[in-house]
């Protein structure tokens, strides 16, 4: 299976705290993407980091990529109750439009 | 702009019946993807199209599943005959082909229950 893995599977924190989610993948990549899924909804793209980048920021999101370890992390700073969702990483493979998704981290932010 | 539109949002039917799921991609997007999401297996790619042509159907579980894209603005995923193990949420996504560093845009899915 090419499917990656997110870690942890579930994370519960208090509002205002930071949340860190990790992702490992198995193949060589063009990019690594993070998506959010609210309950009963489709996935929404958050941020994309290219294989030649090491860190990227977008608002309260910070993503790192370590291609030597085939891993990425997503940091959400100053979390809010509205950040409660499942978060998925997906790796885009060379020469293909396909994305391989992990099984996600379920984040709960308690008010 | 309208996002990816899927219909129906929910479908409940008895095993053995034919099920047809529908998807309208974002205008101008010429890659379309069908996924299935379950608790056990996560999000699985079933098939994807570029410019209405199926490129990779290796994720289609068996011959009971078929997908078509008759034009750039419409795709269907059909299950015939349906079985209880087909119960899942089915998502459609689209993007512009050839731009690998662009994200996929997802619809809100069809929740399918086969009794």
DSSP codes joined into one string, B60-97: --STTEEEEEEETTEEEEEESS--GGG-EEEEEEEE-T
| Calpha distance B33→A82 (Å, rounded) | 28
Give the sign of the dihedral formed by CA A103, CA A108, CA B2, CA B7: positive
Per-residue pLDDT, A2: 46
Record: contact A98-B45, CB cut-off 8 A: yes
Question: So what's the pLDDT on residue A3?
Answer: 57
Residues of chain B scoring pLDDT < 70 = 1
Residues of A in contact with B109 (CB under 8 A): 41-42
CA B34 vs CA A14, A17, B66: distances in Å: 36, 36, 11
Residue labelled with tokens 């011959």: B63
- On average, the pLDDT of chain B sits at 95
Q: Which helix (H) or strand (E) holds B77?
A: strand B74-79
d(CA B58, CA B48): 10
Nearest CA in chain B to A5: B42
- Is A4 an interface residue toward B (CB < 8 Å)? no
Residue spans of chain A under pLDDT 50: 1-2
User: ω before A108 within 30° of 0 (cis)?
Assistant: no
Distance from CA of A91 to the nearest CA of B (A): 11
Task: Enumerate residues 6+ apart whose C-beta is below 8 A from A68.
Answer: none
Kindly report the average pLDDT of chain A as a whole number: 91
Name the residue among B42, B43, B50 with its Cβ closest to that of A97. B50
Instruction: Tell me the two tokens of residue B51.
Output: 């410019």
Q: DSSP letter at A49? A: E
Is the CB of A3 inside 8 Å of chain B's CB atoms? yes
pLDDT at position A4: 67
User: Which residue from A minimizes the CA distance to B38?
Assistant: A103
pLDDT at B1: 63
């Amino acid at each position: 299976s090419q499917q990656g893995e997110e870690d942890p599977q579930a994370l519960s924190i208090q509002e205002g705290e930071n949340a860190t989610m990790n992702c490992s993948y198995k193949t060589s990549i063009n990019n690594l993407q993070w998506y959010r899924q609210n309950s009963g909804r489709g996935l929404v793209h958050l941020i994309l980091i290219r294989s030649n980048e090491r860190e990227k920021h977008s608002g309260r999101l910070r993503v790192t990529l370590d291609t030597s370890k085939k891993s990425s992390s997503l940091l959400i700073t100053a979390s809010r109750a509205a950040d409660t969702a499942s978060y998925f990483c997906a790796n885009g493979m060379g020469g293909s439009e396909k994305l391989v998704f992990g099984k996600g981290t379920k984040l709960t932010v308690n008010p | 702009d309208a996002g990816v539109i899927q219909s129906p949002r929910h479908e409940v039917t008895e095993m053995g019946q034919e099920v047809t799921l529908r998807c309208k991609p974002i205008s101008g997007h010429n890659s379309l993807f069908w996924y299935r999401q379950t608790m056990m297996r996560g999000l699985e790619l079933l098939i994807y199209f570029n410019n209405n042509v199926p490129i990779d159907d290796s994720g289609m579980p068996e011959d009971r599943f078929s997908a078509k894209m008759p034009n750039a603005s419409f795709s269907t995923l059909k299950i015939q005959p349906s079985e209880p193990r087909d119960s899942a949420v089915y998502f459609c996504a689209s993007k512009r082909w050839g731009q690998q560093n662009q994200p996929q845009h997802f619809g809100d899915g069809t929740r399918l229950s086969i009794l």
